[in-house]
């Protein structure tokens, strides 16, 4: 008996070591992939900064700077060094969170990004939630009732969402719901009368107002965000409903669905447990892409609604040749893409046992 137990223990030890080794190798592979991706992102932003037809020295000193001042500033910025050395300095500073000083605000770029990014994050998150709550069920219903009225409606929603420019829809929304009907507040994130009434802890004005118990501020913030979030959310609904419908139509034509129906399973179980369960993994990719695109693609919406987010900050920086701000914002957006991709990979392993 003792010999049998010891043999089991001996067999389990190599299995445990193999499992730990496999996890360590997977973590190492993830770390190497992340490092290479981030290094490539740094190289890309560095090349963009050097190839754009904007002289960083003139952006600092102006067009009428004397030659001596121009040469001194060029030395201070390290532009006299070889490109390899310049990139090494740029990568070192970026890894330490040093993106330079913004010409527009005279603040460190990282401080500016910390100030404006929560507004974009709040807007994009709310728009993505609208897309999830409306778009995914709409796509499932459209596929389950193929060529029925709900399917035609879903396709019409997707067609309009892919055809109408976001800035035009935003302007029409302001004209109708703000200027004519007075259902929502105007551009901006908050009325000036409420500025400074809530301390920023989470970065989300809605959460901070609710945590502080400032319900008037919360209502005013909601009245400002509801229209831009609905505009972005509509495009999220259009894309997610179209992709969900496409995934579901493919699954509903499979043999396992025909077999499940032949066995007499309720249609609700066939659709949501069997067919929808098999599209969760590809749908995660679509949701992550939607969220990423809303984080970096809400520039026009932020401009139309004067939303003080990263998109407006990046646009102003480009128009004023503020390259430190442009490269810092671009790098932050790239890091968000990388983070969301890694999170999606982790969710794959949670929802799909085959990837484990």
* pLDDT tens digits, one per residue of 172-231: 999 999 999 889 988 888 888 888 888 888 878 888 888 888 899 999 999 999 999 999
Q: What is the dihedral of CA 132, 138, 139, 144, to 10 degrees?
A: 140
Q: Name the residue among 239, 107, 228, 85 with its Cα closest to residue 167.
A: 228
> Does residue 106 carry a pLDDT above 90?
no
- Rounded (5°) CA angle 94-96-99: 40
**Taking the alpha carbons of 31, 33, 36, 42 in that order, is the dihedral positive or negative?**
negative
3-state secondary structure 309-353: CHHHHHHHHHHCCCHHHHHHHHHHHHHHHHHHHHHHHHHHHHHCH
Structure tokens at 352: 């799909």
Distance CA 32, CA 347 (A): 20
Q: Is the pLDDT of residue 135 over 90?
A: yes
Going by C-alpha positions, the residue among 288, 252, 242, 287 that lies closest to residue 272 is 252
CA distances from 346 to 40, 54, 100, 156 (A): 22, 41, 34, 34
The label of the residue with tokens 């390259």 reads: 323
Q: How far is Cα 113 from Cα 81, in angstroms, rounded to an integer? A: 28
Question: Using an 8 Å Cβ cutoff, are 217 and 197 in contact?
Answer: yes
- Cα–Cα distance measured from residue 341 to residue 347, given in angstroms and rounded to the nearest whole number: 10
Task: Give the predicted TM-score (pTM) of the model.
Answer: 0.81
pLDDT at 133: 94
Q: What is the pLDDT of residue 143?
A: 93
| Per-residue pLDDT at 316 exceeds 90 | no
- Cα 33 to its chain centre, rounded Å, is 20
| Exposure b/e, 280-306, CB count within 10 A at least 16 = b | ebbbbebbbbbbbbbbbbbbbbbbbbe
**Residue 10 pLDDT:** 46
Instruction: Please list, residue by residue across 331-347, b when 16 or more beta carbons sit within 10 angstroms of its beta carbon and e when fewer do.
Output: bbbbebbbebbeebeeb
Bridge partners (DSSP) listed for residue 101: 108
C-beta neighbour count of 184 within 10 angstroms = 18
φ/ψ (deg, to 5) at 108: -55, 135
252 token code pair: 């509903």
Total Cβ atoms within 10 A of residue 183: 11
Which distant-in-sequence residues (6+ apart) come within 8 Å of 50 by Cβ? 83, 86
| Residue 306: pLDDT over 60 | yes
pLDDT category, 273, cuts 50, 70, 90? confident
3-class DSSP state of 108: strand
> What are the structural domains of the chain?
113-355 (1.10.3720.10)
**Residue 108 bridge partners (DSSP):** 101
Q: What percent of the chain has pLDDT over 70?
A: 91
Mean per-residue pLDDT of the chain: 83
In contact, 118 and 333? CB cutoff 8 Å: no
Structure tokens at 336: 């968000």
**Residue 267 token pair:** 């249609």
Categorize the per-residue pLDDT at 8 as very low, low, confident or very high, splitting at 50, 70 and 90. very low
What confidence tier does 295 reach under pLDDT thresholds 50, 70, 90?
A: confident
């Amino acid at each position: 008996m003792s010999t049998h137990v010891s043999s089991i223990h001996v067999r389990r030890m190599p299995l445990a070591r193999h499992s730990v080794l496999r996890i360590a190798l997977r973590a190492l592979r993830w770390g190497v992939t992340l490092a290479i991706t981030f290094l490539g992102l740094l190289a890309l932003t560095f090349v963009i900064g050097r190839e754009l037809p904007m002289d960083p020295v003139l952006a600092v000193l102006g067009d009428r700077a004397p030659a001596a001042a121009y040469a001194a500033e060029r030395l201070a910025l390290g532009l006299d060094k070889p490109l390899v050395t310049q990139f090494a300095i740029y990568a070192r500073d970026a890894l330490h969170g040093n993106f330079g000083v913004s010409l527009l605000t005279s603040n460190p770029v990282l401080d500016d990004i910390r100030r404006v990014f929560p507004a974009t994050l709040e807007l994009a998150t709310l728009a993505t939630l609208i897309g999830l709550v409306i778009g995914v069920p709409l796509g499932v219903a459209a596929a389950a009732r193929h060529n029925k009225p709900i399917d035609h409606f879903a396709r019409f929603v997707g067609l309009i969402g892919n055809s109408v420019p976001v800035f035009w829809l935003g302007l029409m929304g302001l004209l109708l719901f703000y200027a004519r009907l007075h259902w929502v507040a105007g551009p901006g994130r908050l009325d000036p009368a409420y500025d400074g009434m809530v301390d920023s802890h989470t970065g989300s004005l809605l959460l901070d107002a609710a945590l502080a118990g400032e319900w008037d501020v919360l209502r005013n913030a909601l009245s400002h965000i509801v229209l831009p979030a609905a505009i972005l959310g509509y495009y999220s609904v259009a894309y997610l409903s179209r992709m969900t419908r496409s995934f579901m139509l493919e699954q509903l034509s499979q043999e396992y669905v025909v077999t499940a129906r032949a066995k007499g399973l309720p249609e609700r179980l066939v659709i949501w447990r069997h067919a929808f369960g098999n599209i969760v993994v590809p749908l995660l990719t679509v949701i992550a892409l939607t969220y990423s695109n809303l984080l970096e693609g809400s520039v026009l919406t932020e401009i139309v609604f004067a939303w003080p987010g990263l998109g407006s900050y990046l646009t102003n920086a480009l128009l004023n040749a503020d390259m430190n701000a442009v490269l810092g914002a671009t790098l932050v957006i790239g890091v968000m893409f990388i983070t969301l991709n890694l999170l999606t990979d982790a969710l794959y392993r949670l929802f799909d046992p085959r990837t484990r």
